[in-house]
Chain A
Amino acid sequence: MDRTTFRRLGLGLALIWLAFCLFPLWWVLVTAFKPPSAVSGGATYIPFVDFQPTWQAFRDAFSGVRGDFAGPIFSSLAVSLVSTALAVFLGAMAAYALVRFEFRIRLLAGLVFGVLSIGGFALLNQGAGLSVPQSLGLVMLIALPVAIWLNGRNLPGPVLGNDDVTFWFVSQRMFPPIVSAFALFLLYAEMNKAGVRLLDSFPGLVAAYTAFGLPFAVWLMRDFFANVPVEVEEAAMVDNIGRMRIFFQIVLPMSKPGLVATSMIVLAFIWNEFLFALLLTSSKWQTLPILMAGQNSSRGDEWWAISVAALISIIPMIAVAIFLGRMMRSGFLAGSIK
């Protein structure tokens, strides 16, 4: 089959998908303007033709009757952008290390860490009655150095490599969030009692969300970095340029499409995260997803209110999508710089 046929097929597919993809969004846009009668009578599609549009739903939303929108919008923006930036930054660094260097973790050392940390924590917390933050802190201070020291020794047993380290990162995402959210809440509550305010606070949220986004960043950037030709770096190393500089000034710019894509993914996930936001925030830093969930009110699907809320929560993301989308287009050129 020749190129034109493919292009026609591609165009066809794109158009069908466009319709499928945009119809619900069109529906949301239109429904936000519907008066209740335009909903209870059956499906209506075109304003002014099928029904008379009204601003009532918007008025309700902005009057605060359905909940304050301004606060959550700000919280969501602040927390998401900062956490995404941090996650992608730290994650890219980690991914680079996993692609260009070799890590050797002895399984035994890892197991020792596991046993020390779990056992130590149980002992300190339930046996000696130390508070949670104290036990945790002590355990980390002791178990981690011990494990690292052991790793240097020549222990028997299998050796885990880079792939396994990556798998460890990603496995953090496999654990269903229910208990981790509750446990993290407990940890933060205990820290609160110890005087460090983490609940309903910016640092607490950002720390949790960065940790939340890191697995994506590591996993995805690893593949993008792998596609960056290594000769460029080797040439730079011959010139005795430090690794850090190579990373920041050569590798990162060359993987721009990947960085942009990863950032968008991480941002989308953090922006829409619900469970941790529910437990870790209260009055000051409540984020948008909680507000969204509340639109499912017991008054029955007030479709217009739901639509307005959905629109409000998606507009910042549209802005981000356009901005990053532009970067992606130009990234095509940057990616093949030699």
Chain B
Amino acid sequence: MKNLMLATALVPIAGLASAACAPDYSGVTLTVSTQNGPFIASALKTAADSWQEKTCGTVEIVEFPFSELYPKFLTAMSQQTGDFDVIGFIPAWAPDFAPFLSTMPAEMQQGPAWEDIHPVYRERLMSWGGEVKSATMDGDMHMLNYRADLFEDEGNKAAFKEQYGYDLAAPVTWDQYYDIAQFFTASDAVDFGTAEAYRRGGQQFWYFFSHAASYTNNPNTPGAMFFDPETMDAQINNPGWLKALEDYKRGLEFNPPGALNNGSGDVRPLYSGGTVAMNIDWADSGVLGATEGAIAGNVRTAVLPGATEIWNSETESWDSFDSPVASPFLAFGGWQLAVPGDSRNSEAAWSYVAEVTSPEVSGQAIVTANTGVNPYRLSHYENLDNWSAIFTPAEAKSYLTAQRASLDADNVALDLRLPGFFSYTEVLEIELSKAIAGQVEPQEALDAIAAEWNKLTDEFGRDNQLAAYRAAMGLD
């Protein structure tokens, strides 16, 4: 091993033609791991190339199926095998991983690159337990994607106005969303109105949360969307959630057949292939539509619809607002990079992380197809020209404005992050799939989820869970 290191160290010195390695990590091999490519992994590979050039180190990328990432990382880190130097994972797992992750070096937590990260990502997603444990490399939230050609068509606009009494435009409330979906399902212009994910194991619950945020993320009671912020009682069976479930179920009417088995991955090609007029999805639908779909040039993105009535869990009544309140839901949060505590090359690892998340490298990644990297730095949103490679100017403007507006929104809704995340989401997925298949009544399903959630909270320690939840919701 030593000889190998020596040999590799000598190579750059001997080959004076190559630039100096700064900082010098020659002889260091980093094992970087994430889900199977091309998403995220290809971005990591590109950054690996540039990092290897700069520092003379080597990077090996190992990929695993997404659904096996969590067990693989957790088992490796809990047994301190030192297998991975950098892991790419999702924020929902951060509470469970945090005890095993090393903290970001202080130098990385300052400077222009640090300030350039959008505050919501920086403050909310990168730290846990008061320490910065990971670096955002991707920004995720749910958006409403729709097609310009269908929405701007004069014939459609006239027919819609006649039937529903208001102008056809990106919906700002869920009621409008369903009107439009109904309209397009009936219309000949397109096969179906919308597409959402409903499948157990297909990331359905994030779609459900996107609906729920509008009815439960009350600006008057911050942080009360999932649990009561004082007692940690589950809020998921309150009337706001019930309305969301009924809405979510109603969408099946306007989805293509087989929607019950659609995962998030199925929703994208339906939109980009032109089968549906709208969809709810992460920003990937937009990029897919512009690059590989049949709707290039007609991709439009909007902030998620909101509501004029939001449930207030404290007063136990509905609060009314004059104009619709948007509660854009930061579904999924965005891929994070972290360095496990048992890594033997932590300094080099963090240097690599800095490379991947640097404004230059990430700025390239967001406009390269198939990287799966969506904007998260202020500079990403501001540079419109950068996007001309994949979007028309109209598309780019709508795409970026919607995302920025979602992040800057007053009532932005944060995703659930708790220790034991899977235990909570498993019962959610099971009951949810039963409810939308019609096997149980919505209220019954929600009550069952609430009961199980309360049980889990007690089992895991109510105080711990409460503290974690409050931190995740930005209350403390």
Contacts and interface: CB of A to CB of B under 8 A. Distances in A.
B394 to A, nearest CB: 24
Nearest to A283: B62
Contacts of B264: 298, 300
Given A185-B75, A278-B72, A40 B273 contact: yes
Interface stretch (A4-12, A286-294, A327-335): A286-294
A73 interface: no
Contacts of A40: 269-270, 273, 275
B294 A297 contact: no
A283 B83 contact: yes
Interface in B61-97: 62-68, 71-72, 75-76, 79, 81, 83-84
A33 B257 CA distance: 26
Interface stretch (B34-42, B153-161, B214-222, B237-245): B34-42
A129 to B, nearest CB: 18
B60 A294 contact: no
Chain A at the B interface: mostly helix, strand, loop or mixed?
loop
Given A283-B60, A286-B62, A290-B64, A300 B267 contact: yes
Interface residues of B, number: 41
A223 to B, nearest CB: 37
A200 interface: yes
Contacts of B273: 36-37, 40-41
Contacts of A185: 75, 79
Contacts of B294: 37
B12 interface: no
A296 B264 CA distance: 12
A39 B270 CA distance: 11
A291 B79 CA distance: 24
B68 A293 contact: yes
Contacts of A36: 269, 273, 292
Which of B36, B84, B266, B269 has the most CB atoms of chain A within a 10 A radius of its CB? B36
Interface in A266-324: 278-279, 282-283, 286, 290-291, 293-301
A279 B269 CA distance: 33
A199 interface: yes
B52 interface: no
Contact of B64 (A37, A199, A278): A278
A36 B369 CA distance: 15
Given A37-B294, A279-B72, A282-B31, A65 B65 contact: no
B370 A65 contact: yes
A294 B36 contact: yes
Contact of B63 (A41, A189, A294, A296): A294
A182 interface: yes
A299 B81 CA distance: 31
Contacts of B370: 65
A301 B265 contact: yes
Contact of A298 (B41, B265, B292): B265
Interface in A160-196: 182, 185-186, 189, 192
Nearest to B35: A294
Interface string B283-306: 010001000101000000000000
A98 B66 CA distance: 45
Given A66-B36, A67-B63, A182-B75, A300 B265 contact: yes
A299 B268 contact: yes
A279 B71 CA distance: 9
Given A40-B275, A200-B83, A298 B66 contact: yes
A294 B39 contact: no
B263 interface: yes
Contacts of A290: 64-65, 68
B41 to A, nearest CB: 7
A67 B41 contact: yes
A110 B225 CA distance: 58
Contacts of B31: 282-283
Contacts of B64: 278, 290, 294
A279 B39 contact: no
B75 A279 contact: yes
Which of B31, B64, B65, B284 has the most CB atoms of chain A within a 10 A radius of its CB? B65
Contacts of A199: 81, 83
A52 to B, nearest CB: 15
A199 to B, nearest CB: 6
Contacts of B60: 283
Interface in B271-286: 273, 275, 284
B134 to A, nearest CB: 20
A286 B72 CA distance: 12
Contacts of A278: 64, 68, 71-72
Contacts of B266: 300-301
Contact of A65 (B42, B79, B292): B42
Contacts of A39: 269
A40 B268 CA distance: 11
A41 B275 CA distance: 9
A288 to B, nearest CB: 12
22 contacts: A37-B273, A67-B63, A68-B63, A186-B79, A278-B64, A278-B68, A279-B72, A279-B75, A282-B81, A283-B60, A291-B36, A293-B68, A294-B35, A294-B36, A294-B66, A298-B263, A298-B264, A299-B284, A299-B288, A300-B263, A300-B266, A300-B269
Interface of A: 36-37, 39-41, 60, 65-68, 182, 185-186, 189, 192, 199-200, 278-279, 282-283, 286, 290-291, 293-301
Given A36-B273, A290-B64, A299-B39, 13 more contacts: A37-B273, A40-B269, A40-B270, A41-B273, A66-B38, A68-B63, A282-B31, A282-B81, A283-B31, A290-B65, A297-B39, A298-B39, A300-B267
- State the 8 A-B residue pairs at the shortest beta-carbon distance, nearest first: A294-B36, A300-B265, A40-B273, A189-B79, A294-B65, A293-B65, A283-B62, A282-B83
